[in-house]
Structure 1
């Protein structure tokens, strides 16, 4: 019976670790999306540059 409890306990621990990792990854992705949106909004708020660059390849 101890072996079965040990296996079940290990499976639950692995499942909890997987859930925590998936949650952490989802939160990180959401934070990156929010930062990307904030950066886009910030660049739209910047005034246009008075300098023009002509670049020829």
Structure 2
């Protein structure tokens, strides 16, 4: 293997690592946004329980 091939291979590996890092960064950003949305939904549910504490607390069941 000559120096040109080694140089090209290293450049290719470096580029693939940068692409992988960018994709991972985007996935982490998306997961953070989804997590924030879930926290908002849980906060909204807690607010509903504070306004109407009896709603959804009990249910009747017959067998």
Which TM class, normalised by the smaller chain length? 0.7 to 0.9
Q: Which runs of 5+ in 1 are unaligned?
A: 52-57
Which has the greater radius of gyration? 2
Q: Which runs of 5+ in 2 are unaligned?
A: 51-63
Cα RMSD (Å):
1.8
TM-score by length of 1: 0.74
Higher RCO (Cα < 8 Å, 6 or more apart): 2
Give the number of aligned pairs.
Answer: 47
Instruction: Give 4+ residue runs of structure 1 displaced > 3 Å after superposition.
Output: none
TM-score by length of 2: 0.67
